Amino acid sequence: LAKTTQPISMDSYEGQEVNITCSHNNIATNDYITWYQQFPSQGPRFIIQGYKTKVTNEVASLFIPADRKSSTLSLPRVSLSDTAVYYCLLGPPNNFNKFYFGSGTKLNVKP
Amino acid sequence: DSGVTQTPKHLITATGQRVTLRCSPRSGDLSVYWYQQSLDQGLQFLIQYYNGEERAKGNILERFSAQQFPDLHSELNLSSLELGDSALYFCASSGQGEYNEQFFGPGTRLTVL
């Protein structure tokens, strides 16, 4: 089961761009990279998913280099409400049968 | 609202007891997942069911069991409860969406005294 490594915590200020990097040296060819956000006492929520290069949606961007051994979640102009834990996961999208969430990155956005 | 419902929201019980947590997936979703999250811990995958059959097992204790019924709702049974079983238990479901992402319910907070 391919595992990921993320920073335990990060601090930022409102209005800044935040980049959270996830390392996954043993990523498999058919693995996609998926990011989830979790607020305290709530279930995680899907943010974004990608396979290679760059993916962007209304919430975030995901940058994946050519070797795919890492990925970076970019949150533009964060606000206090973006304070949450962010998880990076690997897996084939047609068979996410064992999700390894790990400990995630706790993002603290300050005013 | 994710569309996934879990009952009860809170549960307080004593050591040695048995409880059942219930989950109703989003309409049309065939997969149901159970997770445990202890205080300030990451999510631990317990088990997955797909259309009534067990699909994958994670770090689920032998004292725990689950099943998915024909109407696709699922139950997680926890027996011989210990203090360390106190946690948030999340259920999630997934379907055939573009990203096959999981949709999580609000969770059941279990407190074992």
* pLDDT digit string, tens, across residues B14-29: 999 999 999 999 999 9
Q: What b-and-e string marks burial along A21-60, b requiring 16 or more CB atoms within 10 Å of the CB? A: bbebeebeeebbbbbbbbeeebbbbbbbbbeeeebeeeeb
The average confidence (pLDDT) of chain A is 90
Supply the pLDDT for residue A103: 80
Chain A CB contacts of B92 under 8 Å are 43
Mean pLDDT along residues A20-36: 92
Nearest to B2 among A32, A43, A93 (CB): A43
Comparing A75-84, B64-73, B89-98, the range with the smallest average pLDDT is B89-98
Chain A CB contacts of B94 under 8 Å are 96
pLDDT band at residue B56 using 50, 70 and 90 as cut-offs: confident
Cβ distance A49 to B99 less than 8 Å, yes or no, reads yes
Tokens found for residue B81: 């409860």
Any A CB within 8 A of B61 CB:
no
Is residue A108 predicted with pLDDT exceeding 60?
A: yes
Burial class (CB in 10 A: 0-12, 13-18, 19+), B28: exposed
pLDDT band at residue A2 using 50, 70 and 90 as cut-offs: low
Between A92 and A32, the more confident residue is A32
CA atoms of A50 and A55, how far apart (whole Å): 6
Cβ distance B103 to A103 less than 8 Å, yes or no, reads no
Percent of chain B with pLDDT over 70: 96
Nearest to A97 by CA among B94, B43, B3: B94
CA neighbours within 13 Å on the CB side: how many for B18?
A: 8
Is residue A92 predicted with pLDDT exceeding 80?
A: no
Any A CB within 8 A of B48 CB:
yes
- Nearest residue in chain A measured CA to CA from B36: A43
Cβ distance B45 to A93 less than 8 Å, yes or no, reads no
Supply the pLDDT for residue A96: 54
Cβ distance A99 to B102 less than 8 Å, yes or no, reads yes
Between B96 and A32, the more confident residue is A32
Supply the pLDDT for residue A57: 94
